[in-house]
Structure 1
Amino acid sequence: MDLDRISTRTAELAAKLEIQPPRIETGTVPRSCTAGLYARIRKQPVLVVGSAFERLTVAEQDGALAEHLVALDLLRAGRPKSRVAIMVITLALLTFLLLGVGGYIDAPPWQAAFAGGLVGLAMYMIVTYVVMAFWSRRITYQTDRRLAVVFGRPFMNFMLDLDARLRSQPLGVAGPFLKLAMPSEARRAHRLDAIVPAPARSTITSP
């Protein structure tokens, strides 16, 4: 794998998109990341490139890189808000539940506290799942709009075809979540039609 070439191309695409390029690394990518790219955010955003990326054509690699660059930028910018939303919704639901049934619980304080902790943890996990799914769908639509504006609608037609093909591959244990979190290509195209009208389908080589 030519990591220097991928890093250079990533920097070129990031410049066109007017965003800060992430660091590029090679490594193991989850099976659900069918394009062979995995975004990771720590102190510095990182795009991990796996072996599946090499099986894409040059045009598909460029498209996948551009798509992940925008999504990673949006993910990084919106992560604090998503964390706050998860905590606020969880606390609100837990408070509502405790106020509703707390008076009917006849148990020692330690048992009530233990049960409340378990319920709170379960609520947190459920709320996280729902918020992340909603947020992922929103990021997908925002990514589509930005790419269509920068590279044109024919490029997005190309990417929707590629994403549909990649979606048909086995997704592993993350499959159920991705089916909820990722809108269909038909729905994405419909959203784009209101912003950037779709021309006739055409072959595209690279953004």
Structure 2
Amino acid sequence: MDLQAIEMVTGRLAAQFSIRPPKVTSGWVPRSMRLGVRAKMWRRRLVLVIGPASERLEPDELEGELASGMAGFTLRRGFLARAFLSVVAVNICGFVIQGFSVGAPAWWRELIVYGFPAITVAVIIVHYRGWLYRADRKVAEVLGARTLFAVLEAERRLGANGLAYLWAAPTADRRAERVAPTIERVRADDAPHG
């Protein structure tokens, strides 16, 4: 794995996404991230951690995965704000319903106590999936469909592991379906008008 070559690619991609070039480092990437690239934030800067699993990727697949990390980074504030506000709203509703349920049967109060954490997790998953879909659309808009489809093909080929990842993340096929309207719109915008 040539980190200097990856830094050159990330520098070019960062310019296309209008962000500061991320720091690129080699290191530990969880097994659930089968493509071997982990995007994280350190002091308001994107850091891309490249693990040994990334060596299985073709250059266009690696570029697409790096671009996905950058797209997610550009969308992070909206994701965090929406997720936070939704979780707060769910919890406020839970407390209000619990307050009105003072004289209710015990099974109802237990349903509220155990049901609202499950609803909170479901809300977070919905926001996480929406963030992934928006990041896919951003990659398609900035770099074109070919880059995104290379990543999705790598995900199909390498599969996913980890119960949480399988539970929360949409499949590559579903992600391709969701980004198709964006690709059609971009193609229509790029077509010569006569």
TM-score, structure 2 normalization? 0.77
Q: How does 1:15-54 map to 2 (within 5 A)?
A: 15-44=15-44, 45-54=46-55
Conservation of the 8 A alpha-carbon contact between 1:164 and 1:185: yes
Aligned to 2:135: 143
Structure 2 distance, partners of 1:54, 1:124, is: 42
Alignment of 1:65 onto 2:52: no
Aligned to 1:204: none
Partner deviation per Cα, 1:49-80 (whole Å, 9 max, x = no partner): 21111222222211111111111221244213
190, 199, 206: which one aligns with 2:177:
190
Q: How does 1:1-207 map to 2 (within 5 A)?
A: 1-44=1-44, 45-100=46-101, 102-104=102-104, 119=113, 125-166=117-158, 168-169=159-160, 171-172=161-162, 175=163, 177-197=164-184
Question: What amino acid is aligned across from residue 82 of structure 2 in structure 1?
Answer: K
TM-score, structure 1 normalization? 0.73
Conservation of the 8 A alpha-carbon contact between 1:27 and 1:49: yes
SS at 1:178's partner residue?
helix
Structure 1 distance, partners of 2:149, 2:77, is: 26
Structure 2 distance, partners of 1:158, 1:3, is: 21
* CA gap 1:193/1:60 in 2 versus in 1, 3 angstroms: closer
Structure 2 distance, partners of 1:144, 1:63, is: 10
Conservation of the 8 A alpha-carbon contact between 2:90 and 2:120: no
Structure 1 distance, partners of 2:62, 2:17, is: 16
SS at 1:33's partner residue?
coil
| 1:134 shift after superposition | 0.8
Structure 1 distance, partners of 2:77, 2:26, is: 21
If asked which structure has higher relative contact order (CA below 8 Å, sep 6+), I would say 1
* CA gap 1:16/1:95 in 2 versus in 1, 3 angstroms: same
Task: Give structure 1 stretches of 5+ with no counterpart.
Answer: 107-114, 199-207
Cα RMSD of the aligned pairs, angstroms, is: 2.8
Conservation of the 8 A alpha-carbon contact between 1:141 and 1:188: yes
Q: Aligned residues, how many?
A: 181
Conservation of the 8 A alpha-carbon contact between 1:90 and 1:123: no
Conservation of the 8 A alpha-carbon contact between 1:25 and 1:49: yes
Structure 1 distance, partners of 2:134, 2:125, is: 14
Conservation of the 8 A alpha-carbon contact between 1:70 and 1:143: yes
SS at 1:194's partner residue?
helix
* CA gap 1:181/1:20 in 2 versus in 1, 3 angstroms: farther
